[in-house]
Structure 1
Amino acid sequence: MKELVLPSPAAPAAPAQRKRMLPPFSRPTVAPRWAALALAIWCTVGLNQAWWARLSQLAQEQSLSGTEQLWTALVLTAATFLWFMLLSWPGLRRIGWSVTLVTAAAVQYFMLHYGIVVDPSMVRNALQTNTSETMALMGSGLLLHVLLYAGLPMAVLWAGVRLQPGAWRRDLWRSALLVLAGFGVVGLGAKLLYKPMAPLVRNHTEIRFLINPLSTLVSVGNVTLKPLFKSKRPFQRISEDAALGASYTPPLKRATAAGVAAGHKPPLLVLVVGETARSDHFGLNGYPRNTTPEMEARHVISWRNVRSCGTNTLASVPCMFSHLGKEGFEGRKFEYENLLDVLQQAGLRVDWLDNQAGCKGVCNRISNAQADKIASAAALSQWCKDDECLDQIMVEQLDQRLKALQAAGEPQGTVLVLHQMGSHGPAYHRRSSPANKRFLPECATHVTSDCSRGQLVNVYDNSIVETDHFVSRTIDWLQTQQDRFETGLIYLSDHGESLGENGLYLHGLPYVIAPDVQKHVPWVLWPGTLLARTQVAERCLRAGTDAALTHDHFYHSVLGLLDVRSSTYRTQLDAFASCRPATRQDAA
């Protein structure tokens, strides 16, 4: 019988053999300060493309030498490094750094594709954007951009390296030395670059908002943190003395120069707050394409030379309903009541119907509703898709809103405000019904820079055609109410839009640097039977449609048209005052 031979235990591997048996990949250990520096370099090189491209465009105006460009890169890197070091606490750094990278990548995408800058005004506007508008900006292009410019460094950060544990304690002096060096580079660079860069920053304010991600971080901090250290503006009423004028005197009791005249029917005025409409794309204002045939058929009056208060909804809408005007509104020390408060206090019924992302505080003290929240199932089916509705859904609800306001008794007058979705981008193709898509082919994506200029203009013009139809349907509804009311309508857009001119898209640039197309807006009046109430000569208005107007005129023009008395009224800002036989003298 053979002996059973058991295998002997394997001998310990030699050192060289053990080395060969190690895993093929071993994550290197990196001190957090060096990881922060690497990420800062990545931001300077990969996430500041809009900044470098803009400097290149301005080279003919102010060319930077090679040394100056190197110092610019060093300053950007050092300043970004200081931010990453601020987030380099254990348990926070990977998350904080990742959020910064994702934010920077997303912001760069919008800068490159839409030509926007992220200033405090843009941040405020973004924070008040509803889900539907936000989703319209999302797409595969954005996702791929973020995956490339944020995903790659994040993959290295989370899976490619080990951050040295406890390094902030053991190597505090080394990190502090590197931080001091960062401050030194920023300070010295600012001194060396002041002479070549100051003229550029002075003449092209937008370039400071292109520094990524620092500009976005400063803007977000300005909007979210600054109010915490700033006292809230006290609220002040302005409507105490509001009253209805002589035209509201009961029948057969209103004295005139010629004797005694019969009284008027109650006024019914519709105010349409337009959205993102450019004056130069209204056929009424000389645009070669007849984008407004229905309003033209209803003999509206259109002013051609009107400028907005801001370049986004959040800035413009509260400003246009304010008595202060643009300059006073932006520098105000109090929060005030607005036009709608004054009208309501005077005795008129006022209602706000919204098909947008809210009234920005303007309708807080009056009756208001969101159109899709009160619509019937049939109306939602007809006018709504993917959580958005065409503005025509509001026309379907006019009878309902008017009836609700009259429930408490016959009003002395009614003002209905309709806030449009209008031509809000970038998903312009969702802003018009199939019947109003007259200009084809149209851009059928929200990535406007992917479309040809012709396709983009087509889809935007179709949205103006839709607005024309919506306003005209509202006028037709008003005509059905003329047996009970003296009717009229004012349409005024909140701001304009860039459609690729000079590489810019959408709106929201800081007012001082925004192109005129983001500020030049249409103002339309359908006179109905309301002009006669305050003796405004229609022929006179039609002769003055080239007059220079702004949102500053809106508050006072509405008060004048409705014959509402207030100490806040200013005759010189009433667009209709010069066409009355005797100018009102409510205020100096």
Structure 2
Amino acid sequence: MKRNHTILSRFTSGLCSFFRQGFRTKPSTSSFVILLTLLNTALYNWPLFSFSIKNLDGFTLNSLQTLMTVFAAIYLVTTLVLYVLFILSRRLGKAVCVVFALANSLAVYFVVTYNVILDRTMIGNIFNTQYSESGQFLSPKLAIYFILLGVLPAWLILRTSVQKTSRIRLFAHLIITVIVTSTWIWQSQSHWLWIDDHAKQLGGRIMPWSYVGNTIRYQNQLAKENVVQTLLSDATFGSNEKTVVVLVIGESARAENFSLYGYDKPTNPLLTASENVVALKNATSCATYTTESVKCILSHNNPSGSFSEQFEPLPSYLQRQGVDVFWRTKNWGEPPIKVASYLSSGDLKKNCEGSECDYDGVLLSYLAEQIQESDKQKVFVVLHQTGSHGPSYYSKYPKEFEFFKPICRSVELSNCTQEELINAYDNTILYNDHFLDQLRKTLEGLKDTSSAYLYVSDHGESLGEGGIYLHGTPYSIAPEQQFKVPFFVWMSPSFIDQKHISIDKLRAREQSTQANIFHSVMGAFDMNSEIYNKDLDMFRAARQQ
């Protein structure tokens, strides 16, 4: 970390020196573009070059040539864009450079602090982060990065007077730059293989093109998804018993920190002691970020990825089939849904009492009353938790659940010891254990009703393993902590009897995914339809012979 700050200070000092000279000499537009390109490539891309150096074979001539090829590629793209902007208008060019400087400073901070890469997945996380969550990332270190790498360069860019240069001359300079740089890149074909092998890691660290390009990709994805949802085929119900099914969507919970899965710390004392709780083995998420995982959980045919045709999600489908559907959330990221009742944490807090109203416990506020008021025989409830969302794990549970100590109280996770960080995270899992036990008691209190809940986390979480924090790493290179998730089921005795469930069979399942949710809920309600896939229904597979 000290080394990073030293590099940062040297770059900033050099930046000031360059532009002080610029104030006195009034550079030409071409010189200004070249200067900005060099500074952008060096000042904001040092995390990329740091990654490259660590993954090359030492300081050999071949490694140096690879670095030069990477540098040339970044330089080519940056100078091409800047020349075009300044050919159009010097004011436009300066304005865009100011925006890039401010945005780059924030991007570099998050790449360095949390070791994330700014691919489309991470851009989706950023766009879907709530205001209340974004405030958790504020820190003195962030302010330092923003001032030194953002505000100061932006101010210097605005202060520098630039000589007017004819568009023809600028265009000629652009052509020469493109030819020279492209020639270097072309003759370096032997280094392309290394670049291709590390394309995801490199592409997500190139400033500003990582977040610019992936923002465009993300918006294109949204545009494809923003189409009318196709209605699924209607269903029939094989029975008319009063049945309540609750789907709890966890947040950032990873399986390896649950004692139900063999973790050596008692993070699940209540779940472990409960009857009819089944922890499903080897469960995985469809993605490493919320929006994609929630979409997958609620989809009948989309275990991962995006399709041009969008089908109605599980809550909307059940509601249209006559099931009463209640959605209660302390989170975000669900697709468009049509339900009987949608309540945010703000709505629920109005009638909440007790110490848990600022935490996930608010999701259980007057839940029993809402279920009992329904005149339908089938009720489906979704509880979308804030769960173990980082980086401020210490803020996700009431004080009385601070069982594991000492804890990390900083959003700059690398400043905490591994013990402090894991303790804070484990306390969120302990509180979740309490939450699910309270849900069980609520369901057990319903008269003449068979009930069950399914709990699955949207994705996992990295806690510093390999220097990686949080989540959102591209699935193909993500550590298993980000996609191995807790997935378990609780069933009331009447539910087990009516569905003829064998607990042992359910517990013996070797593999489960979020794709099982849709069809297992259909099975729980004894629904039959053309879209029902019995092979994905966990309850059907666990029936007694």
TM score, norm. by length of structure 1: 0.83
Within 5 Å, which residues of 2 pair with 1:395-434? 395-403=364-372, 406=374, 410-434=375-399
1:162-215 Cα shifts (integer Å, max 9, x gaps): 122xx2xx5212211222133224432432344323244335632221111111
Query: What is the aligned residue count?
Result: 520
1:456 aligns to what?
A: 421
Are 2:512 and 1:549 equivalent residues in the alignment?
yes
Q: Quick one: distance in 2 between partners of 1:457 and 1:193?
A: 45
Q: Quick one: distance in 2 between partners of 1:475 and 1:430?
A: 24
CA pair 531-184 structure 1, distance change in 2 beyond 3 A:
farther
Q: Which of 456, 459, 467 is equivalent to 1:492?
A: 456
Q: Which of 256, 268, 286 is equivalent to 1:280?
A: 256
Cα pair 1:62 1:196 within 8 Å, conserved: no
Cα pair 2:348 2:365 within 8 Å, conserved: no
Question: Could you list the runs of 5+ residues in structure 1 that have no partner in the other structure?
Answer: 1-23, 249-263, 583-588
Q: Quick one: distance in 2 between partners of 1:490 and 1:128?
A: 25
Q: Percent identity?
A: 26
1:19 aligns to what?
A: none
Counterpart residue type for residue 34 of structure 1: S
2:342 aligns to what?
A: 368
Cα pair 1:395 1:474 within 8 Å, conserved: yes
1:388-437 Cα shifts (integer Å, max 9, x gaps): x3101111231343255x2xxx2111111100000001111111111111
Are 2:366 and 1:391 equivalent residues in the alignment?
no
Q: Quick one: distance in 1 between partners of 2:352 and 2:154?
A: 48
Q: Quick one: distance in 1 between partners of 2:469 and 2:114?
A: 5
1:59 aligns to what?
A: 56
2:156 aligns to what?
A: 156
Cα pair 1:343 1:564 within 8 Å, conserved: no
CA pair 65-492 structure 1, distance change in 2 beyond 3 A:
closer
1:70-118 Cα shifts (integer Å, max 9, x gaps): 3332332232122223333233222211110111111111111111111
Within 5 Å, which residues of 2 pair with 1:467-506? 467-481=432-446, 483-506=447-470
Q: How far does residue 322 in structure 1 lie from its aligned partner after superposition?
A: 0.3
Are 2:536 and 1:573 equivalent residues in the alignment?
yes
2:269 aligns to what?
A: 293
Q: Quick one: distance in 2 between partners of 1:62 and 1:331?
A: 42
CA pair 226-178 structure 1, distance change in 2 beyond 3 A:
farther
2:408 aligns to what?
A: 443
1:77 aligns to what?
A: 75
Cα pair 1:281 1:287 within 8 Å, conserved: yes
Q: Quick one: distance in 1 between partners of 2:67 and 2:504?
A: 61
SS across alignment from 2:136: helix
Question: Could you list the runs of 5+ residues in structure 2 that have no partner in the other structure?
Answer: 1-20
Structure 1 or 2: larger helix share? 2
CA pair 442-267 structure 1, distance change in 2 beyond 3 A:
same
Cα pair 2:116 2:469 within 8 Å, conserved: yes
SS across alignment from 2:472: coil
Cα pair 2:319 2:339 within 8 Å, conserved: no
Q: How far does residue 378 in structure 1 lie from its aligned partner after superposition?
A: 5.5
CA pair 296-224 structure 1, distance change in 2 beyond 3 A:
same
Q: Quick one: distance in 2 between partners of 1:334 and 1:234?
A: 8
Q: What is the RMSD of the two structures over their aligned residues, measured on CA atoms? A: 2.4
Q: How far does residue 366 in structure 1 lie from its aligned partner after superposition?
A: 4.5
Cα pair 2:225 2:310 within 8 Å, conserved: no
Within 5 Å, which residues of 2 pair with 1:59-458? 59-60=56-57, 64-88=62-86, 89-159=89-159, 161-164=160-163, 167=164, 170-202=165-197, 205-224=200-219, 233-238=227-232, 240-245=233-238, 247-248=239-240, 264=241, 266-299=242-275, 300-327=277-304, 330-361=305-336, 363-376=337-350, 379=353, 382-383=355-356, 389-403=358-372, 406=374, 410-458=375-423
Cα pair 2:203 2:210 within 8 Å, conserved: yes
SS across alignment from 1:93: helix
Cα pair 2:348 2:362 within 8 Å, conserved: no
Q: Quick one: distance in 2 between partners of 1:149 and 1:117?
A: 19
1:516 aligns to what?
A: 480
Cα pair 2:76 2:182 within 8 Å, conserved: no
Cα pair 2:225 2:308 within 8 Å, conserved: no
CA pair 127-366 structure 1, distance change in 2 beyond 3 A:
farther
Q: Quick one: distance in 2 between partners of 1:93 and 1:371?
A: 44
